[in-house]
């Protein structure tokens, strides 16, 4: 646990030191769970967003993208169920005065047991070597079987109590499991209460005529209310999807995990409208497609897993998370939900406007069903950033800090250095920059020894460093150094564009999904 916390602290401080993420309004001591993206962070975030948008909108001829407003008519949130049901169960520790999400306390308890299972597996794998059969071990090792039973029964009970809104039982579960406040170790808990997560705001100039609004807690509703507008204006035929990315706001109770859980964050969501009765098949397809998108970034298959929900949201008939191994363990990165016709039917009921589709093949009208994919852009940023940050022992005994971002997402693709600040080398380096900048984000650096400049770019996540030296004057070649392997090769200046392009081209990366 201490190592996990240590690793996570390193992620946070690296993000600040190298211009990725800053605490919002830091000079006023910050605002809890609100963050700003800095010069490199804004680029990384934009690249992730584009990688998603291309995969969803550009590569699917039946998916279009929109950009709906953050402020919506307040009835939207009555219809969607958010006013009545968008609650988190909260619990306070009477001694430390710290507030927690009751379900998260239980889930963290379960995650600890899962950690123990993983440890047993690693130990056994070492002991048995090549003959190790993980499946058999999981099914037969007495201790692991007991751990697994505990996990299953705890999650089942939590799911059931939350579904039945039985908050007394949620508290009883916390007490039975002897869960202590992570800050103080105290087990002195208040009752569990529901807390609505929406931020309120007002529209209008004078207090008496002002209208109460909410900042949207998910982008999805902007898609639902525009379903018919898009379908008609785009002459879309079912099955089709509407995608969008944008800000969402939640007054999170527990927001202590950097950009994992923020109060202002960004979502990338897609609603796929389908014929009722086909939802199971589309749900499975989108689970698979979204996992392929993640795997195309090469961050290791072992770092992802599906988690099927026991407790379903008020709108879903099936739901799964794609979980990622964050520095603090496996946690939700993306949700795939089969939302039935809940949202469209509710908007139809509350607005009094028909939100139906005329199916020419079936020759009838119906309210479409929806399968949704929903990923947090900031959470994806954290997954990419944390996974990429590595410390390597080098052969000479030193360590280097390297941010092995997938090259396609890296904020800066290449840094160009003159070996020395004289003999015309800076001028050549700047000419190279002037040529490459039309295709890629590149930067010029002439400060410090080349070795230190390499290290700076390693920590910055820049995939290539190009050094101009005296040989360049003679034969128009440069040294190009690869961030991950640290290999260097001599190449013609005229070959640089092609070489960088091959490594960072979005098309090449996206094609790995096929
Ligand atoms: N429209 C469905 C929906 O909003 P969700 O599971 O509440 O579902 C979807 O959110 C995704 O949005 C999550 O998987 C997560 O990546 C991201 N997300 C949710 N709350 C967040 C928060 N407070 N901070 C950062 N990302 C968040």
Secondary structure (3-state) at 401:
strand
Is the pLDDT confidence value at 505 over 80?
Answer: yes
Ligand 1 atom index nearest CA of 335:
14
Task: Report how far apart, in Å, the C-alpha atoms of 55 and of each of 40, 52, 65, 176, 511 are.
Answer: 23, 5, 12, 46, 10
Cβ density class 149-182: b for 16+ within 10 Å, e for less:
ebbeebbebbeebbeeeebebbbebbeebebbbe
Q: Whose CA is nearest to atom 25 of ligand 1?
A: 261
Q: Whose CA is nearest to atom 14 of ligand 1?
A: 334
What is d(CA 393, CA 280) in angstroms, rounded to the nearest whole number?
Answer: 48
Q: Which fold has domain 1-75+197-395?
A: BirA Bifunctional Protein; domain 2 (3.30.930)
- Measure 287 CA to ligand 1 centroid, in angstroms: 16
Joined together, the tokens standing for residue 68 give: 């709906």
310: confidence class by pLDDT, cuts 50, 70, 90? confident
Superfamily (CATH) of domain 412-513: Anticodon-binding domain (3.40.50.800)
Q: 122 and 141 in contact (C-beta within 8 Å)? A: no
pLDDT at res. 447:
96
Q: What is the mean pLDDT of residues 292-321?
A: 92
For the chain, give the mean pLDDT.
95
- Measure 56 CA to ligand 1 centroid, in angstroms: 18
Q: Decide whether any atom of ligand 1 lies within 6 Å of the 376 Cβ.
A: yes
- Measure 46 CA to ligand 1 centroid, in angstroms: 18
Joined together, the tokens standing for residue 13 give: 């401080």
pLDDT at res. 205:
78
Q: Decide whether any atom of ligand 1 lies within 6 Å of the 297 Cβ.
A: no
pLDDT digits (tens, 9 = 90+) for 53-111: 999 999 999 999 999 999 999 999 999 999 998 998 999 999 999 999 999 999 999 99
Where do runs of H (alpha helix) occur along 164-249?
A: 167-176, 220-224, 227-233
Q: Side-chain half-sphere of 405: how many Cα atoms within 13 Å?
A: 30
pLDDT at res. 254:
72
Total residues belonging to the chain: 514
pLDDT at res. 408:
98
Q: Decide whether any atom of ligand 1 lies within 6 Å of the 171 Cβ.
A: no
* CA proximity to 429, closest of 410, 454, 446, 412: 446
Assigned CATH class of 87-196: alpha beta
179: confidence class by pLDDT, cuts 50, 70, 90? very high
pLDDT at res. 378:
98
**Contacting residues for 287 by C-beta, under 8 A, at least 6 apart:** 306, 320, 322, 336
pLDDT at res. 159:
87
Q: What is the mean pLDDT of residues 196-204?
A: 93
314: confidence class by pLDDT, cuts 50, 70, 90? confident
- Residue, of 111 and 439, whose pLDDT is higher: 439
Q: Decide whether any atom of ligand 1 lies within 6 Å of the 267 Cβ.
A: yes
Angle between helix axes 377-388 and 2-17 (nearest 10 degrees) is: 100
Ligand 1 atom index nearest CA of 255:
23
Name the pairing type of β-strands 464-468 and 414-418. parallel
- Range list for CATH 3.30.40.230 in the chain: 87-196
pLDDT digits (tens, 9 = 90+) for 222-236: 999 999 999 999 999
- Measure 376 CA to ligand 1 centroid, in angstroms: 5
Is the pLDDT confidence value at 455 over 70?
Answer: yes
pLDDT above 70 as % of the chain: 99
Is the pLDDT confidence value at 207 over 90?
Answer: no
Q: What is the DSSP letter of 423?
A: T
- Residue, of 2 and 47, whose pLDDT is higher: 47
pLDDT at res. 1:
58
* Residue of 88, 107, 218, 338 with the most ligand 1 atoms within 8 Å of its CB, for mutation: 218
- Measure 375 CA to ligand 1 centroid, in angstroms: 6
pLDDT at res. 79:
97
- Range list for CATH 3.40.50.800 in the chain: 412-513
Q: Decide whether any atom of ligand 1 lies within 6 Å of the 220 Cβ.
A: yes
- Range list for CATH 3.30.930.10 in the chain: 1-75+197-395
Q: Whose CA is nearest to atom 10 of ligand 1?
A: 374
* Residue of 267, 293, 340 with the most ligand 1 atoms within 8 Å of its CB, for mutation: 267
pLDDT at res. 236:
96
In which residue are the tokens 């800090």 written? 401
Is the pLDDT confidence value at 252 over 70?
Answer: yes
pLDDT at res. 210:
83
Write out the DSSP string of 238-299.
SSEEEEEEEEEE---S---SGGGS-SEEEEEEEEEEE-TT-HHHHHHHHHHHHHHHHHTT-S
Q: What is the mean pLDDT of residues 112-136?
A: 93
Q: Decide whether any atom of ligand 1 lies within 6 Å of the 379 Cβ.
A: yes
Q: Whose CA is nearest to atom 27 of ligand 1?
A: 376
């Amino acid at each position: 646990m201490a190592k996990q916390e240590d690793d996570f602290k390193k992620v946070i401080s690296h993000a600040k030191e190298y211009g990725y993420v800053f605490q919002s309004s830091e000079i006023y001591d910050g605002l809890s769970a609100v963050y700003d993206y800095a010069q490199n962070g804004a680029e990384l975030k934009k690249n992730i967003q584009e990688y998603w948008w291309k995969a969803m909108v550009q590569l699917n001829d039946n998916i279009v993208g929109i950009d709906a407003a953050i402020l919506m008519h307040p009835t939207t949130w009555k219809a969607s169920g958010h006013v009545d049901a968008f609650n988190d169960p909260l619990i306070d520790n009477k001694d430390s005065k710290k507030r927690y999400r009751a379900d998260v306390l239980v889930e963290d308890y379960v995650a600890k047991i899962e950690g123990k299972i993983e440890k047993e597996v690693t130990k056994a794998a070492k002991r048995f070597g090549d003959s190790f059969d993980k499946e058999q071990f999981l099914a037969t090792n007495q201790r692991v079987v007991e751990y697994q039973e505990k996990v299953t029964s705890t999650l089942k009970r939590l799911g059931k109590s939350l579904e039945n809104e039985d908050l007394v039982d949620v508290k009883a579960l916390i007490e039975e499991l002897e869960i202590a406040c992570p800050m103080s170790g105290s087990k002195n808990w208040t009752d569990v209460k529901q807390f609505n997560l929406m931020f309120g705001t007002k529209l209008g100039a004078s207090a008496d005529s002002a209208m109460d609004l909410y900042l949207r807690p998910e982008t999805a509703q902007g898609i639902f209310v525009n379903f018919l507008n898009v379908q008609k204006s785009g002459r879309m035929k079912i099955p089709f999807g509407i995608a969008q990315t944008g800000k969402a706001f939640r007054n999170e109770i527990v927001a202590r995990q950097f950009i994992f859980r923020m109060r202002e964050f960004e979502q990338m969501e897609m609603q796929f409208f389908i014929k009722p009765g086909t939802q199971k098949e589309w749900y499975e397809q989108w689970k698979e497609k979204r996992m392929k998108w993640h795997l195309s970034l090469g961050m290791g298959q072992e770092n992802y897993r599906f988690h099927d929900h026991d407790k379903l949201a008020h709108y879903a008939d099936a739901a799964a998370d794609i979980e990622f191994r964050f520095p603090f363990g496996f946690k939700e990165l993306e949700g795939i939900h089969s939302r039935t016709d809940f949202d469209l039917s509710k908007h139809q009921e509350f607005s009094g406007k028909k939100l139906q589709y005329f199916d020419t093949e079936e020759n009838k009208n119906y309210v479409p069903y929806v399968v949704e994919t929903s990923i947090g852009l900031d959470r994806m940023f954290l997954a990419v950033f944390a996974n990429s940050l590595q410390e390597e022992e080098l052969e000479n005994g030193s360590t280097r800090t390297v941010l092995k971002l997938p090259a396609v997402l890296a904020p800066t693709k290449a840094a160009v250095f003159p070996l020395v600040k004289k003999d015309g080398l800076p001028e050549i380096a700047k000419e190279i920059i002037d040529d490459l900048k039309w295709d890629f984000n590149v930067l010029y650096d002439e400060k410090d020894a080349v070795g230190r400049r390499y290290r700076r770019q390693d920590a910055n996540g820049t995939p290539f460093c190009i050094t101009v030296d005296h040989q360049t004057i003679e034969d128009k070649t440069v040294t190009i150094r690869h961030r991950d392997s640290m290999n260097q090769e001599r190449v013609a200046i005229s070959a640089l564009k092609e070489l960088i392009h091959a490594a960072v081209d979005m098309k090449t990366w996206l094609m790995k999904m096929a």
